[in-house]
Structure 1
Amino acid sequence: MILLVIGLVLLGVFAVRFRNDRRRLGHGVYLLLGVAFTGAWVIGSGAERDLPVVLARLLVLLSPVLVLVLAGLLMANSVQMVREEGLRVSNLLPFGLGVVLLVPYIVLATAILTQDRWLVVALASLTMAVSYIGFLFAAFLLYSLCYGWLPYRSGMDAIVVHGSGLVDGGVPPLLAARLDRAIEVFRAEVAIGRAPLLIASGGKGSDEVVSEASAMAGYLVDHGVPADRVLREDRSTTTEENLSFTKQLLGEHGPTTRMVLVTSNFHILRTAILARRLNLDAEVTGAKTAFYYLPSAFLREFAALVVAYKWMNLVTAIALVSLPPLALVATRGLPGH
């Protein structure tokens, strides 16, 4: 029963925080823990006495297989990304994660062969670190998907489209999907009697002949958006600059209260968190992305958020990694050790 109480309390905290502001990464932690505790109670309450033991043993046996399968899939996805888009550091992220997932098993095999107690401790510390990052990623992914499923709330004064890079001066499919989603939102606003501004946000890269904003604005006008409703923000090179410079640009065109930020579906949660940090009254909506691109994209987004909260994550990781060696040192002085 205590599992159910804990689960409901955590879900209640999630609901209150979500109602106040849904643009927070911590929502995913409360949601995941609440679902986990409640699910554990449901399984335990409806099972026969020995079923939890059987499930636990099955989980122990299946976990290595599932991890190995996941590592293989990540590596295969990385190879596909390289074939589709060329050799880039971002496309190698899934391969790197696959290798990281294999490291604990390599350490475990070495510890078993050498029977080295400190290798076992190293494995325990590594497992703590990997488990922490894995939990955070699961929470991030769960809430990213939930946030992406939230219905769009109409009544916007501005629609901001974030750039994602040009190809030979033209709009590539990833950016076109964002622009098409922005046009869809614009038409929905017009249908209810509003006339929001549509801001194309993106600067000019060192290898680009025109700014992203110019190419995006041309795409929008060519697809039926009135030219007098399109503004260009052509200085930004990052998502945070997209938001900061757009805030300044909108301030020059009179008071605006609500805006919707249009980006790719994998990018919505980090964009929403940045908007909250900049005190923007903004919602985020996502455009669909090719499925093969999602694993690498979600990993990049997660890595960026880990870096954004680096000190909190570093302190937590150090504390967890320190527990196994401290436990070994503490027990070596006990009788029988």
Structure 2
Amino acid sequence: MIWTLVALLVVATAVAAWREPRSLSVGVLALLAGGVAVVALAGLDGLIVVLVLALLALAMFAILGGLTMRRQPGRSRVGGVAVALGAVALGYCAALEWVRAEQAEDLAGWLLVLGTPAFYVASLFVAFVGYGAVYGRVVRRWVPPVDVVIVLGAGLHGDRVSQVLASRLDRALVALGRSRSRGRDTHVICSGGQGPDETVPEAVAMARYLLGRGVDDSLVWREDRSTSTDENLRFSAEIAAEHGIEHGRFAVVTNDFHAFRAAMLMRDVGLAGYGLGASTRPRLWAAAVLREFTAVLWEQRLLHALVAVVLTGAAVVTAAAP
């Protein structure tokens, strides 16, 4: 019976991915299938081990990402909170292992109940990072042609693109070339407004970078008003519509840590297509992934809070049962 449930969850994952791959529900369904398979193979003890490993992974990301953020202007306090939460999670895992080693089953059971919300968040984190990585790899390998490549801005050094933004533009050049080589009349939209410490809008510097690498000016459209990813997408969609592209396919180019969430936001604003990621320096990756995951949680905070409460209540009832 349990393997039938695993099979059903695998089918549900495949159907969800086919219908809308830009959804975290695909990763959650895959994680549920894996969790049920672990129970079938190793029982509840095996599932507990997997949950603890997920929490340890989240704790390490929190600590490493927090340490990176503490060195960034304006993010020191947030980084300190991340490090503290990661340390608490590590301490909880150590306490749980010590109690289990002492065979204090009742205490271990209530410790597990106490950690239910953390296990839920850690499971979502694994689903987000794991499925996001799979999504990014599939898109890079089997990238279909598009009508418009949208490049998201990422800050300037004066009037010159930063290293992060240059990596996005280089990835956009590849996507543009591939689409046009397949007979598509593909254009690129440089999307980014002007920050308080920037001498020109990001879109202007981005377009200059592309023109300097041989892209014809007629293929480059500029969106210079946006201040967020949501505005990047909405304003770029307006520009595409002005040029007669209202129901086309889009590739949104950003960094790899942001590509999946950008794809989720594309879905929300009604743009067909996919998110495409450029490489990120390893020392920045943990902090960037942590910020993206936090943003995803916050966007649906009421839903996640409700699920955590329900799961915790079910755990309490189970632990209190004679």
TM bracket, shorter-chain basis: 0.7 to 0.9
2:127 aligned residue = 139
Residue 10 of structure 2 is aligned to residue 11 of structure 1: yes
1:47 aligned residue = none
- For the residue of structure 2 that corresponds to 1:159, the secondary structure is strand
**2-structure distance, mates of 1:269, 1:211:** 25
**2-structure distance, mates of 1:195, 1:58:** 51
Q: Cα–Cα, structure 1 residues 125 and 254, in superposed 2: closer, same or farther, change >3 Å? A: same
Match for residue 261 of structure 1 among 246, 252, 261: 252
The total of aligned residue pairs comes to 313
Q: Cα–Cα, structure 1 residues 33 and 204, in superposed 2: closer, same or farther, change >3 Å? A: same
Q: Which moved more, 1:136-145 or 1:62-71?
A: 62-71
**2-structure distance, mates of 1:15, 1:326:** 33
Structure 1 stretches lacking a partner, 5+ long: 45-51, 113-118
Residue 185 of structure 2 is aligned to residue 198 of structure 1: no
Match for residue 75 of structure 2 among 82, 88, 91: 88
Contact 2:65/2:288 (CA < 8 Å) preserved in 1?
no
1:22 aligned residue = 21
- Post-superposition offset of 1:273: 1.2
- Post-superposition offset of 1:36: 3.4
- Post-superposition offset of 1:57: 8.3
**2-structure distance, mates of 1:279, 1:98:** 36
Contact 1:213/1:232 (CA < 8 Å) preserved in 2?
yes
Q: Deviations over 1:243-274 (max 9, x none)?
A: 11111111111135111111111111111111
Q: Deviations over 1:54-106 (max 9, x none)?
A: x948976x9879966874675345335545x4562565565244134135359
Residue 228 of structure 2 is aligned to residue 241 of structure 1: no
Q: Cα–Cα, structure 1 residues 132 and 28, in superposed 2: closer, same or farther, change >3 Å? A: same
TM-score with structure 2 setting the length? 0.83
Q: Which moved more, 1:62-71 or 1:87-96?
A: 62-71
**1-structure distance, mates of 2:52, 2:33:** 25
**2-structure distance, mates of 1:69, 1:271:** 23
- For the residue of structure 2 that corresponds to 1:207, the secondary structure is coil
Q: Deviations over 1:166-212 (max 9, x none)?
A: 23332111111111000111112232333311100111112222111
1:184-195 superposed matches below 5 A = 184-195=174-185
Q: Which amino acid aligns with 1:20?
A: R
- For the residue of structure 2 that corresponds to 1:198, the secondary structure is strand
TM-score with structure 1 setting the length? 0.80
**2-structure distance, mates of 1:20, 1:250:** 25
1:1-337 superposed matches below 5 A = 2-38=1-37, 41=40, 44=41, 52=42, 56=45, 71=59, 74-80=62-68, 82-83=70-71, 85-86=72-73, 88-89=75-76, 91-92=79-80, 94-102=82-90, 104=92, 123-150=111-138, 151-256=141-246, 257-323=248-314
- Post-superposition offset of 1:40: 5.3
Structure 2 stretches lacking a partner, 5+ long: 101-106
Contact 2:38/2:47 (CA < 8 Å) preserved in 1?
no
**1-structure distance, mates of 2:221, 2:160:** 18
Contact 2:154/2:165 (CA < 8 Å) preserved in 1?
yes
**2-structure distance, mates of 1:308, 1:135:** 17
- For the residue of structure 1 that corresponds to 2:274, the secondary structure is strand
- Post-superposition offset of 1:133: 0.4
- For the residue of structure 2 that corresponds to 1:247, the secondary structure is helix
**2-structure distance, mates of 1:10, 1:58:** 17
Q: Which has the larger radius of gyration?
A: 1
- Post-superposition offset of 1:299: 1.3
- Post-superposition offset of 1:163: 1.0
Identity of aligned residues (%): 33
**1-structure distance, mates of 2:312, 2:130:** 25
Q: Which amino acid aligns with 1:274?
A: L
- For the residue of structure 2 that corresponds to 1:318, the secondary structure is helix
**2-structure distance, mates of 1:316, 1:236:** 34
- Post-superposition offset of 1:310: 1.6
